[in-house]
Amino acid sequence: MCGIVAYVGHREACPVVIKGLKRLEYRGYDSAGVALMNGHGLKVYKKKGKVVALERELEGKETHSTIGMGHTRWATHGEPNDVNAHPHYSFHRKLAIIHNGIIENYAAIKQALLKKGHTFTSETDTEVLGQFIEDIWENNGGTLEDAVRLALQEVVGAYAIVVMSETDSTQLIAARKGSPLVIGVGEENEFFLASDATPIVEYTKDVIYLNDYEIAVIKEGDLKIVNLDNTTTTPYVHKIEMELAAIEKGGYDHFMLKEIFEQPRSIADSMRGRVQADAGILQLGGLRDYMDKLARSERIVIIGCGTSWHAGLVAEYIFEELARIPVEVEYASEFRYRNPIIKEGDIVIAISQSGETADTLAAIELAKSKGATIFGVCNVVGSSIARATDAGAYTHAGPEIGVASTKAFTAQVTVLTIMALEAAQRKGTISESLFRQLLVELESIPAKVEMVLQAADKIKEIAYIFTYARNFIYLGRGLNFPVALEGALKLKEISYIHAEGYPAAEMKHGPIALIDEDMPVVVIATKDSSYEKVVSNIQEVKARKGRVIAITTEGDTDLPGMVDFTIEIPKVHSMLMPLISAIPLQLLAYYIAVMRGRNVDQPRNLAKSVTVE
């Protein structure tokens, strides 16, 4: 959701903050704002829209300041406009605050402040928190740090906040609960604060991940971290490996396209050091001590949201087929509000690219409280979910900036496949020959993805023909069913075309009523055990004049004469097919969205990291 960035040190803060906001814009892009301490005291500048609109607003203003903080907003309380944009001044303008998260009891706090004569300019929960902190600061006689701590003791909800005051141009106070915050430790006693490491990486590789209930006080070049009960904690400085190039477009028109084309490398990275086909070795270091437990488990529950949930559905097929362990895949948002049955010996696998998804985090906490062992499959190193799980495996896909998940999906599926294969081997439910064959085929996946990417121009031509379609149906069977769901999700989120994914055989139970000459149907019809059945489904569509785009296995001579368009992909074992069949669907969605003039990397209403319910 919202992006936070702040700086204090020897540099000009404004350019650091603005550049950081641009890097974080994928987290929210409804409005942007900065607070600086220039010759006129504590000044806030903010504007509806993207960071470029804020830059225009700042033109000609006095921005000299060596302390500053900024925010990109994904609106929760109040519409996206200049007034609701962050930072927010407190009532007497002694401080300004930026916030990511939701203060659930803001209405009660606001009522109490209204009774004391406060007035509010915005509709946000954030302004309420800022006024609350100032009120305590003014009336309790302590420091600003004390006031922040006392206020947060009363707050229910999730937050990452940064507070700047007019009385101290060396001080930033930050705190987190449920929303991420990273501290960058720079040179000459300078400090950076951000929602993730992307705005920090070009200045320093030394970072501290703030934990829930911790408050960071940066003052006169020193950093102190205390808990909400005022006990001091010793921060651990991590070295991040992220390179600047990984968070830049590198010549591509969009991050999404770059990330689609990165997949040969990202899939290889997610296997690196884990798969050795020639030696018949497979290992996930992060799960070494838990592998026996996984192999012995009587049930696996997989939780995730969106694309991560789709990766979980793929894993369900693979775990059940190869390791013969029953799997249930749940939306984290549903799981957390049920009273799920977790038995001893159950394993819960939480999948999340960002590692910050609020629903997935809450589902993990619930499963933990019921005694489950939790594994994480996350992309972002040091993220909240990675730290909340008992063990896990990073996907190593590299930073994913495009809001639509692409390389994160294939990396998740790769890691989950390795996990299932290792469990199957330990359990003895897979033959040595199949095990070895799958390892060899896994290693061949990056080269095969490369081959699919070479069909980009053909996919672009198909996209051109369907640019103005109003609806799409995606069909697939077996492991290709979750891929159909993922293809439909990609199309709807970036092109705003209505699209639905179904298991191919389900079409006749309802969706077939939608088929006519205006309905494009994307069918994943690769050569596997259900191929003949899928061909029958295609004929049912054609009989009703639907227009079929079929994803076919190379060398298939039957389908080209039967359907309107074919996109060939290389042959691969059916267990690994989603790693290949997802790619043309990502490209199709991408090109259609570009041709419709959509903002592919920052589609409307969405944000990359969903840290609110």
> Of all residues in this chain, which one has the CB nearest to ligand M6R in the complex?
306
Q: How far is the CB of 521 from ligand M6R (least distance, A)?
A: 22
Q: How far is the CB of 599 from ligand M6R (least distance, A)?
A: 14
* 89 or 590: CB nearest ligand M6R: 590
- Which residue's entry shows tokens 């989120």? 493
Tell me the one-letter amino acid at 575.
M
Q: How far is the CB of 86 from ligand M6R (least distance, A)?
A: 22
Show the tokens assigned to 32: 């942007």
* 47 or 407: CB nearest ligand M6R: 407
CA distances from 479 to 58, 526, 555, 574, 596 (A): 52, 11, 21, 8, 30
- Residue ranges in contact with ligand M6R by CB under 6 A: 305-308, 352-354, 357, 360, 403-405, 489, 493, 606, 609-610
Q: How far apart are the first and last CA of the chain?
A: 11
Show the tokens assigned to 260: 């689609």
* 75 or 163: CB nearest ligand M6R: 75
- Number of Cβ atoms within 10 Å of the Cβ of 451: 15
Q: How far is the CB of 109 from ligand M6R (least distance, A)?
A: 29
* 552 or 609: CB nearest ligand M6R: 609
Q: How far is the CB of 232 from ligand M6R (least distance, A)?
A: 32
Burial-class residue 83 by CB neighbours within 10 Å (0-12, 13-18, 19+): middle
Strand partners, 566: 550
Query: For residue 544, what is the DSSP state?
Result: T
Q: Kindly give the interhelix angle for 125-140 and 106-115, rounded to the nearest 10 degrees.
A: 50
How far is it, in rounded angstroms, from Cα 235 to Cα 216? 10
Query: For residue 178, what is the DSSP state?
Result: B
For the question of residue 608 being annotated catalytic, the response is: yes
Name the 3-class secondary structure at 498: strand
Contact 352, 180 (CB under 8 A): no
- Which residue's entry shows tokens 């084309």? 261
Residues contacting residue 436 through CB under 8 Å, at least 6 positions apart:
277, 280
Burial-class residue 457 by CB neighbours within 10 Å (0-12, 13-18, 19+): exposed
For the question of residue 2 being annotated catalytic, the response is: yes
Q: How far is the CB of 176 from ligand M6R (least distance, A)?
A: 18
From the candidates 2, 14, 305, 378, give the one annotated as an active-site residue: 2
Query: For residue 421, what is the DSSP state?
Result: H
Strand arrangement of the beta sheet that strand 95-103 belongs to: 88-89, 95-103, 157-165, 172-177, 214-219, 222-227, 232-233
Name the 3-class secondary structure at 77: coil
Q: How far is the CB of 408 from ligand M6R (least distance, A)?
A: 6
Helix spans in 77-116 (H): 106-115
* 402 or 446: CB nearest ligand M6R: 402
* 26 or 192: CB nearest ligand M6R: 26
* 269 or 568: CB nearest ligand M6R: 269
* 161 or 403: CB nearest ligand M6R: 403
Strand partners, 97: 88, 163
* 185 or 242: CB nearest ligand M6R: 242
Q: How far is the CB of 261 from ligand M6R (least distance, A)?
A: 17
Pairing label, strands 95-103, 88-89:
antiparallel
Q: How far is the CB of 163 from ligand M6R (least distance, A)?
A: 27
How far is it, in rounded angstroms, from Cα 252 to Cα 249? 5
From the candidates 43, 47, 492, 608, give the one annotated as an active-site residue: 608
How far is it, in rounded angstroms, from Cα 176 to Cα 225? 11
What amino acid positions are annotated as catalytic residues? 2, 608
